[in-house]
Amino acid sequence: MSGNDAVSRAVWDAGVRVAAAYPGTPSTEMLEVLSTYPDIYTEWSVNEKVSLEVAFGASMAGSRAFCAMKHVGVNVASDALMTLTLTGVKGGLVLAVADDVGLSSSQNEQDSRTWGRFAHIPVLEPADSQEAYDFTLAAFDLSERFQTPVLLRLTTRICHVKALVTVGERKTYPAAGFTKESTRWVMVPGHAARRLPLLFEREKALAVASAESALNFIDDGSDRRVGFIATGPAAMHVREAFPDAPLFKLGFAYPAPIERLREFAASVDKLVVVEEIEPLLENELKAAGIAVSGKDILPRIGELAPNVLKPAVAGLLGETLPASQVAAPLPVFPRPPTMCVACPHLGVYYTLSQVKNVTVAGDIGCYTLGAGHPWNALDACISMGASMGMALGLDKGRGEADADRRIVAVIGDSTFMHMGMQGLLDIVYNRGNVTVLLLDNRAVGMTGGQNNPGNGRDIHNNPAPQIDFESLVKALGVREERVHVVNPYELPTLFKRLREETKIPEPSVIITNQPCVLVQDYQPKSPFMVEEDRCTGCGSCVDIGCPAIHVTRRDTVQKPNGKEVARSFVRIETAACTGCGLCLQPCAPKAIVPAAVAAKVHVLQQH
């Protein structure tokens, strides 16, 4: 099992009745796997805050509940989190957070262990798939014992790496039912103030539990020159790099068992805290008067693999390692991310790249790739839903230098429902001069094509109410004549609408309406090919950015006026082409033709 698989199985075995999440790599598979188990309610929520609130509601009803998200999702959910830590929980509630250490699929590198300290809730950190299973079960028991939400901190290396896992059987826990208790569940200031002392008492009790927990243990070693304290995958890296060194492995990582760690520190010559990413435990140990090394020798970014640990510890000991032991892993052949063949976003960014004097505020999703080659048509992107607010700010903050610039916001369907609707409402309410491109591809595309309220199917692929985006944006205040639905494969229409709407000094929305090519709604057509003898090498089709188009050779042609012009001769990978027709439209010599027709012509010519 992968770590995500193992967590899901443990959630099932723990008798959970309700599980909710919003897709986000590397956490996505947890809910996908859970949705395949019977007798458990699962849902894709519209955002992480809602998913946590759904799980909390189930907990209030006395059922065990589970919620999953990636690290940046906790930022969205934190409004609810910081209050329900005061109310506490009834049925066990576990929040699994997947940190993307190393930035493999995220806009920042964030240490979610901080939320444990901030919200005063326990943090468990598994190191592999087996521990992901075991710690999830332990988290539910801990949650109910102390009536607290528990944060299960995972990282990409745990979520996506597979190992053998021994599992148990599902246990059932009847829902205890909701008990009316306004001083606990209604968090007005007076009630919250009375809950605060209980929170701190609970944290002291959790510290005692951590000190006694079998999840925290010493893996002893013979080489006592350096001892290590580590959690999660970092502990595995330490054991690989220093098999003979003493290691205090923390599974129940917060509250930390400070006195046990103090005793461990006294048993080694030097002590190194190995933690990804922030020096949280290191600072706590130093505050307790324990001499440790940590981020003074180790980086605060990326994974702390053996090739990072070995030279750092050698330097601490005044040693020099052989070059063979400090060599970094072999570099992987670069594979820049790009959009899929026939992606409906290709035409959008090709069109944006042709529009002059425009600033484009982007958002989180497949369409973020519009910032790359060959489009270079995205100017800003920071977080889910931020395109709306940034675009309004660009409009309101412009000076004389930008007086004639056109402001465009690009956002996907799932992101719009996640956090973009409020931004559009703000644009309308404050009379922003912004054109919004709402790219409806009927899926949460970047995380694997999950269903959402925009495609009329739920997590189980059953029919569900489908949002009408045209009616929705009108309901948010955009005038009817400023709302247009466009097929993104029809480039002239898209270009005409974009050019017209960016000239109108009021909010407008252009909705594209073609599905992601990787979901069931997409219907591929017959592929195209390039007739080499007709291709002039103009390269206009290359500017579309479709990865099915390959440049076979480049050269230069001298015009009568003496000017040299670059030429890019191409072919189309017909096995990949799905016949969307985007490349046909900018091809002046009409060198791109249906592959089936060209094949028939070739056969006739041979005969």
Lowest model confidence (mean pLDDT) among 77-86, 173-182, 384-393, 553-562: 553-562
Domain with 171 in it? 3-212
pLDDT level of residue 448 (50, 70, 90 thresholds) = confident
Coil, helix or strand for 86? helix
Q: Is 339 within a domain?
A: no
For the chain, give the percent of residues with pLDDT over 70.
Answer: 97
Mean pLDDT of 152-181: 94
Alpha-carbon span 294 to 299, nearest angstrom? 9
**pLDDT tens-place string over residues 481-537:** 999 999 999 999 999 999 999 999 999 999 999 999 999 999 999 999 999 888 888
Mean pLDDT of 340-354: 94
Instruction: Using DSSP bridges, classify how beta strands 564-572 and 549-558 pair: parallel, antiparallel or unpaired.
Output: antiparallel
pLDDT reported for residue 583: 93
Residue with tokens 């505050």: 287
221 lies in the same domain as 208: no
pLDDT reported for residue 322: 77
pLDDT reported for residue 160: 95
155 lies in the same domain as 205: yes
pLDDT reported for residue 166: 98
In CATH, what number is assigned to the domain containing residue 475?
Answer: 3.40.50.970
171 lies in the same domain as 196: yes
198 lies in the same domain as 223: no
| Cβ neighbours for 383, distance < 8 A, ≥ 6 positions apart | 72, 75, 107, 364
430 lies in the same domain as 533: no
Domain end among 192, 212, 232: 212
Residue with tokens 């109910």: 144
pLDDT reported for residue 514: 95
Q: Is 68 within a domain?
A: yes
Domain end among 269, 298, 326: 326
pLDDT reported for residue 489: 96
Alpha-carbon span 288 to 424, nearest angstrom? 49
Going by C-alpha positions, the residue among 408, 580, 595 that lies closest to residue 490 is 580
207 lies in the same domain as 224: no
Q: Is 336 within a domain?
A: no
pLDDT level of residue 601 (50, 70, 90 thresholds) = low
391 lies in the same domain as 451: yes
546 is in an annotated binding site: yes
Q: Is 335 within a domain?
A: no
Mean pLDDT of 331-355: 89
159 is in an annotated binding site: no
Q: Is 518 within a domain?
A: no
pLDDT level of residue 556 (50, 70, 90 thresholds) = confident
580 is in an annotated binding site: yes
577 is in an annotated binding site: yes
65 lies in the same domain as 192: yes
Q: Is 358 within a domain?
A: yes
Q: What's the pTM?
A: 0.90
38 lies in the same domain as 129: yes
Going by C-alpha positions, the residue among 208, 232, 203 that lies closest to residue 119 is 203
In CATH, what number is assigned to the domain containing residue 540?
Answer: 3.30.70
pLDDT reported for residue 607: 62
pLDDT reported for residue 259: 96
Run of H or E including 71: helix 71-87
**pLDDT tens-place string over residues 236-265:** 999 999 999 999 999 999 999 999 999 999
Q: Is 119 within a domain?
A: yes
| Cβ neighbours for 97, distance < 8 A, ≥ 6 positions apart | 27, 68, 69, 70, 71, 73, 74, 112, 115, 151, 152, 153, 154
381 is in an annotated binding site: no
558 lies in the same domain as 575: yes
pLDDT reported for residue 104: 82
pLDDT reported for residue 326: 64
pLDDT reported for residue 250: 97
340 is in an annotated binding site: no
Alpha-carbon span 299 to 290, nearest angstrom? 21
261 lies in the same domain as 363: no
Q: Provide the domain count of the chain.
A: 4
In CATH, what number is assigned to the domain containing residue 319?
Answer: 3.40.50.920
**pLDDT tens-place string over residues 75-127:** 999 999 999 999 999 999 999 999 998 888 888 889 999 999 999 999 999 99
Q: Is 96 within a domain?
A: yes
| Cβ neighbours for 76, distance < 8 A, ≥ 6 positions apart | 47, 48, 49, 69, 384, 419
Domain end among 185, 212, 239: 212
Q: Please state, rounded to an integer, the average pLDDT across all residues of the chain.
A: 93
322 lies in the same domain as 380: no
